[in-house]
Amino acid sequence: AFGLMAVILSFVAGLLTVSTVEAARICNSPSVLIAYPTGPWLVFDLVGGAMVWRLLASGERRLAAAAPYYGPFPAGGDLGGARAAVLAVYGGLDARVNATRDAAIAALVAARLPHEIAIFTQANHAFFNDTGQNFNAPAAEEAYRRTVAWFDRHLAGQHRR
């Protein structure tokens, strides 16, 4: 049930995020959803790793912290316009996504973004999804703990609505 709810929330949050980012760009106004991530935004980060990397590569400067989970880094991705602290989460057995990990690390270093790379060596792609065959409870629990701590540390003192 939790997995299904996470998927539903991720779609809703994804739609809200895209709508909010585009509206903010058009109106040149701050975006509360981006500047101050909420529960659904955290869920969206967990299930949309590739989308999070693309948002970072777009130069969205209002994003203060991000946690792309097992998302492939976009070819030619440049994070120079971003300012977010990034916790990149990988399953050690996920060959497809891990093939892009070195490029992600190089882009994070080049952009001088605060970052941490978390590799769960015994976990595969989608290890956080408790409804899928790759679910890995110990890795999911530790990834969740580290993600919440990451957001707490990098969003401390920011007003949340």
pTM given for the model = 0.72
Q: Are strands 65-66 and 115-120 parallel, antiparallel or unpaired?
A: unpaired
Sheet of 115-120, strands arranged across: 65-66, 85-91, 115-120
Q: Is the dihedral of CA 101, 105, 106, 111 positive or negative?
A: positive
Locate tokens 């935004």: which residue? 41
Q: For the chain, how far is it from start to end, CA to CA, in angstroms? A: 27
Paired residues of 118 in beta bridges: 89
The one-digit pLDDT tens for each residue of the chain (161 residues) are: 555 555 555 444 444 444 434 333 333 333 334 444 444 444 344 447 888 898 899 888 888 888 899 899 999 999 999 999 999 999 999 999 999 999 999 999 999 999 999 999 999 998 988 888 999 999 999 998 998 888 888 887 664 44
